[in-house]
Amino acid sequence: MLRRFMNESSAAVDEMIAGMVGAFGSFYEKHPQTNSVLYKNRRKNKVALVTGGGSGHEPLFVGFVGHGLADAAVCGNLYNAPNPESIYKTAKAVESGKGVLFVYGTYPGDKMNFDSAEEWLRKEGIAARHIRVHDDIISAPKNKKQERRGIAGDVFMLRIIGAACDAGMDIDKIVDLAEQVNENMWSIALSLTRNNREYLKQNKLSYFDNADYIEYGVGLHGERGVLQTRMQPVDQLVDKMYSQILDEAGLKKGDSLSVLVNGLGMTSLMELAIVFRRLKSLMDGDGFRLYDADIQTYCASHEARGFSITILKMEEAWKALYSAEPYSPYYSHKIAASQTQSQASIKPIPPKSVPEKPVHWEPVREPIGQDGELNVLPLRDMMIYVAQKLIAAEQMLSEIDGVIGDGDHGICIANGMRTARQRLMMLTEANMPWEVYHIIGRSMFLFAGGASGSYFGGMFLAASEAIKEKRRITVEDFTNMWRASLDMILKQGGAKPGEKTLVDSLTPAVQALAGHPVREFPAAIRAAEMAAQDGAQKTRTMQARYGRGKYVANRGMGNQDPGATTIWLIFRSMREYLTAPEE
């Protein structure tokens, strides 16, 4: 049993508020009828700012009640939205004639209950509006931004909007400003552990299934991430998070950014600082200007062992509001002293991928593979040829992806393969075959971006592990390689055959390799190519049930899956290299 310093779980929220108000009685007061905290010294004759949500995220939401912040916070039970009546009564307690603005995360219970309270206020003639923070870029595609969850973006939102309310802006202008902030703020979170929503009743902590893995793209209520991946050095994790935010945000060199590295509850300040160190190096390397930085646990998932990264693109019009120096017992952050370059002189890391140079690679197609074995050099040359073919297919793959996804699949694949191609050229006969696929895997995982980088990176890394001790590989070894890749995708990605993913092409390709009677590379790979092509074509009649494609339902019918198409192109390119392209 996991022990905690609390009494009856049903009384935890009441007792938490009593403790906070008792400690800061000159600052806070409790609403007499609800689990809400009010700012005693709030300004009158202005738009009242009310925030709130489920408990378990402390210091959000109570800790962001104060000067230049919210006027009140409504506290629901653990991870449960506060009820409409509590929200309504709290808003009535702080409203002073200029209307009420609710700020909260985009979660179903919050949406329904805050909407009900908003409607009740409007029926009384009180101007009531809302802003739902939706900074979590993992939780829904770009065309469904309004469905995205809130992560730690509330911190930036409450700071800017709280200052706008205290400055006396009218409610319509504040809502316009808040919407602009929402569109220029992006977050990703990951975690080693999660909390069961009912943990207070069960009195135990729920862990993810495998201690060797992390959940990438988690929500603040203990929801699983969009991807489970092996534990890695933190720099690799930050690289991926940063890359995905850049893919989403479309930032340009010279943009001014505010950054928050937020702990999810059990992550130490040391670890959070190490995360920021890498993030700052990446930003410097890309020519961004750091306007403000913060490293702290503000928005927790109770006891989750993880962190989130939030980046806000600063507009000149917001900077005066942002710099108004808010204060509460739990949040008093001044703008970082170094807004341009770190006093610690962090050396910028190299660009996110190997710089593209003019490359003319003419493979020497010797009659390889007839003896049933390949060493590192023909494998290297074959995969360089594959990389060149995938780079050439960038536009086609992105166009396919644009029908059911966000149209960046070809870009991601090409980015990773450009880096892989440059690094493969450095291999010599002193290297081992597994290093060929390890290089491709790392290049895809770190530099491709998007989900494509994770899936294809993990796929090639799994392949490299399957031949780790081999100096020469046979068709049987080659089959085992791709079987390991398929197993990794099935286990970590969660997709199954028939769900319109790369699995629908990779599965028949592996089956063709395993079942081919001739143990020569050209014939075996040709069989895999044909099977992969057939599998990719069959995805045209499938409805996507996994990944971003599931959001567009039947709109993807008739369109070939981009991941499955990429698998087919890989096998086709390998066959071309071994046999020379067919006219």
* Model pLDDT, residue 204: 37
pLDDT digits (tens, 9 = 90+) for 262-291: 999 889 999 999 999 999 999 999 999 999
Q: Is 101 helix (H, G, I), strand (E, B) or coil?
A: strand
Q: Give the closest residue to 458 by CA, choosing from 433, 488, 483, 481.
A: 488
Q: Is the pTM of this model over 0.85?
A: no
Q: Which range is least confidently modeled, 187-191, 310-314, 358-362?
A: 358-362
Of 119-133, 201-215, 404-418, which one has max mean pLDDT?
Answer: 119-133
**Residue 194 pLDDT:** 57
pLDDT at 579 over 50: yes
Residue 59 has pLDDT above 60, yes or no: yes
The first and second tokens of residue 187, run together, are 């977050």
The CATH class for the domain spanning 9-322 reads alpha beta
pLDDT at 170: 95
What is the predicted pLDDT for the residue at 224? 72
Higher pLDDT, 215 or 255: 255
Give the range with max mean pLDDT: 312-316, 529-533, 545-549: 312-316
Quick check: 199 pLDDT over 70?
A: no
User: CA-to-CA distance for 139 and 119, rounded, in angstroms?
Assistant: 28
Q: Quick one: pLDDT band at residue 405, thresholds 50, 70, 90?
A: low
Task: Lowest mean pLDDT of 109-118, 210-219, 420-429, name the range.
Answer: 210-219
Give CA separation, 345 vs 30, 239, 273, 283, 290, in Å.
46, 20, 15, 13, 13
Q: Which of 31, 130, 134, 221 is catalytic?
A: 221
pLDDT tier, 578 (very low <50, low <70, confident <90, very high otherwise) = confident
Asked whether the bond before 61 is cis by omega within 30 degrees of 0, the reply is yes
Give the confidence band of 230 by pLDDT, cuts at 50, 70, 90. confident
Maximum Cα–Cα distance for the chain, whole Å? 86
List, for residues 355-373, the tens digit of each pLDDT value. 444 444 555 554 454 456 8
Express as a percent the part of the chain with pLDDT over 90. Answer: 54
CATH of range 373-579; options 3.30.70.2500, 3.40.50.12780, 1.25.40.340, 3.30.70.1070? 1.25.40.340
Please report the pLDDT score of residue 495 as a whole number.
72
Q: For residue 214, name the pLDDT band (cuts at 50, 70, 90).
A: confident
| Residue 302 is among the residues annotated as catalytic for this protein | no
Q: How much is the pLDDT for 498?
A: 76
Q: In this predicted model, what pLDDT tens digit does every residue of 114-147 receive, in sequence order?
A: 998 999 999 999 999 999 999 999 888 888 888 8
* Helix, strand, coil share (%) of the chain residues, nearest 5: 50, 15, 35
Most confident of 296-305, 308-317, 535-544: 308-317
Between residues 391 and 217, which one has the greater pLDDT? 391
Structure tokens, 560: 């070939």
Closest residue by Cα to residue 257 from 273, 225, 280: 280
Task: Return the pLDDT at 522.
Answer: 87
Most confident of the following: 13-17, 303-307, 496-500, 519-523:
13-17
Q: Output 446 or 468, whichever has higher pLDDT.
A: 468
Of 327 and 411, the structure prediction assigns the larger pLDDT to 327
Whole-number average pLDDT of the chain: 84
Q: Is the pLDDT of residue 352 over 80?
A: no
pLDDT digits (tens, 9 = 90+) for 25-55: 999 999 999 999 999 999 999 999 999 998 8
The pLDDT value recorded for residue 388 is 94
Q: pLDDT for 2-22, tens place per residue?
A: 467 888 877 889 999 999 999
516 is a catalytic site residue: no
pLDDT recorded at residue 225: 74
d(CA 543, CA 47): 47
What pLDDT does 408 receive?
Answer: 73
For residue 529, count CB atoms less than 10 angstroms from its CB and return exposed for 0-12, middle for 13-18, buried for 19 or more: buried
**pLDDT at 358 (0 to 100):** 41
Domain with CATH 3.40.50.10440 in the chain: 9-322
Question: Average pLDDT in the 188-192 region?
Answer: 91
Q: Would you say residue 549 has pLDDT above 50? A: no
The one catalytic residue in 57, 130, 134, 438 is 57
Query: What span, in angstroms and rounded, lies between the C-alpha atoms of 419 and 550?
Result: 31
Checking if the pLDDT of 419 tops 80, the result is yes
Helix (H) or strand (E) holding 551: none
Q: In the block, which residue shows the tokens 């066959």?
A: 575
Interatomic CA distance for residues 534 and 508, integer angstroms: 8
Q: Where in the chain is the domain with CATH 1.25.40.340?
A: 373-579
Mean pLDDT, residues 528-544: 84
